[in-house]
Amino acid sequence: METNKTFTMIKPDAVGNGHIGAILDQIIKGGFKIVAMKYTKLSPEKAGEFYAVHKARPFYGDLVAFMSSGPIVAAILEKDNAVEDFRKLIGATDPAKAEPGTIRNLFAKSIDANAIHGSDSNENAKIEGDFFFSAFEKH
Ligand code: CMP
């Protein structure tokens, strides 16, 4: 059933701007079931580990600093075709290119502060969900 799950984080910009409720509303209305969820804050070490795949990219340092700058909401979501459907719901990484009505179009300001993360594959959805949640926390 792992193919029907994806992982998301509401990022520090969206949490700080008071958009947790509105974003969760869009996620639920989009047909996703919340399987696990936590409000937490990443240390720079943990943010660096989570985004280790981007270590060689020029934006890695800024990304780690931003993702550890304030609280986030991490969640595992379930729906048929979850990974692809969730990426459609959140829109393009760069909010300037995100379709109208998508979460990033509505709530994101820049490619760095882009409101929300969504896993890009089933494999990464499992890795990212396991990064935040123990088996006991996934219902
Ligand atoms: P996210 O989906 O969380 O995955 C990596 C993040 O790096 C991405 O969202 C962006 O917020 C951030 N980022 C900053 N610059 C870039 C870039 N040029 N290309 C892709 N991601 C970027």
Residue 19 is among the residues annotated as catalytic for this protein: no
**Helical pair 82-90 and 122-132, crossing angle rounded to 10 deg:** 80
The pLDDT of 56-84, averaged and rounded, is: 98
* pLDDT > 90 in the chain, percent: 94
CATH topology for 5-138 is: Alpha-Beta Plaits (3.30.70)
Residues 94, 16: Cα–Cα separation, whole Å: 19
> Can you give the residue ranges of every domain in the chain?
5-138
d(CA 62, ligand 1 centre) in Å? 10
Question: How would residue 136 be classed by pLDDT, with cut points 50, 70 and 90?
Answer: confident
d(CA 136, ligand 1 centre) in Å? 30
pLDDT at position 1 is 45
pLDDT at position 139 is 73
* Residue to mutate (ligand 1; options 6, 51, 57, 63; most atoms within 8 A of CB): 63
Ligand 1 binding residues, C-beta < 6 A: 54, 59, 63, 93, 111-112, 114, 117
pLDDT at position 3 is 64
* CB-based contact 128:50 (threshold 8 Å): yes
Ligand 1, atom 14, lies closest to the CA of 112
The pLDDT of 18-33, averaged and rounded, is: 98
pLDDT at position 124 is 96
Q: Does residue 2 surpass a pLDDT of 70?
A: no
d(CA 93, ligand 1 centre) in Å? 6
Q: Does residue 132 surpass a pLDDT of 70?
A: yes
Distance of alpha carbon 71 from the chain centroid: 13
pLDDT tens digits along 30-69:
999 999 999 999 999 999 999 999 999 999 999 999 999 9
User: Two tokens at 46?
Assistant: 């943990």
For the chain, what is the mean pLDDT? 96
